[in-house]
Amino acid sequence: GENVEQHPSTLSVQEGDSAVIKCTYSDSASNYFPWYKQELGKRPQLIIDIRSNVGEKKDQRIAVTLNKTAKHFSLHITETQPEDSAVYFCAASKSTAGNKLTFGGGTRVLVKP
């Protein structure tokens, strides 16, 4: 089955700096890659997603890039703010397998004011 690896496990950045989280996946048939943000004690919230026919997607301060050949994708957060502090999860799924998501292990991001 699919395996998703996520790095780093923790990331500390100064407010205003950029944060980058990287994920690799094993199944070349995976075609959907969402990113979830989870604050302490709360549900995972979808913040951005990308499909395999697109190489990059942006939404304000958040962007995701996908390299299908290398089977990796990354989340970029620019101009970080204290409210960006949370755990971020990448995931992968394929439409031929019921779109079930396989998650990475998570990255705890701390934005220091």
User: Least CB distance from residue 16 to another protein, whole Å?
Assistant: 28
Do residues 110 and 86 touch, judged by C-beta distance below 8 A? no
CA 35 vs CA 63, 84, 113: distances in Å = 10, 13, 24
Selected binder of another protein within 25, 34, 75, 80 (CB under 8 A): 34
Report the candidate in 35, 24, 40 with the shortest Cα–Cα distance to residue 58.
35
Selected binder of another protein within 28, 46, 55, 56 (CB under 8 A): 46
Task: Report the amino acid identity of residue 66.
Answer: L
Which stretch, 37-45, 53-61, 69-77, 78-86, contacts another protein (CB under 8 A)?
A: 37-45
Could you list the residues that contact another protein (CB under 8 A)?
A: 1, 4, 6, 32, 34, 36, 42-46, 49, 51, 89, 91, 93, 95, 97-106
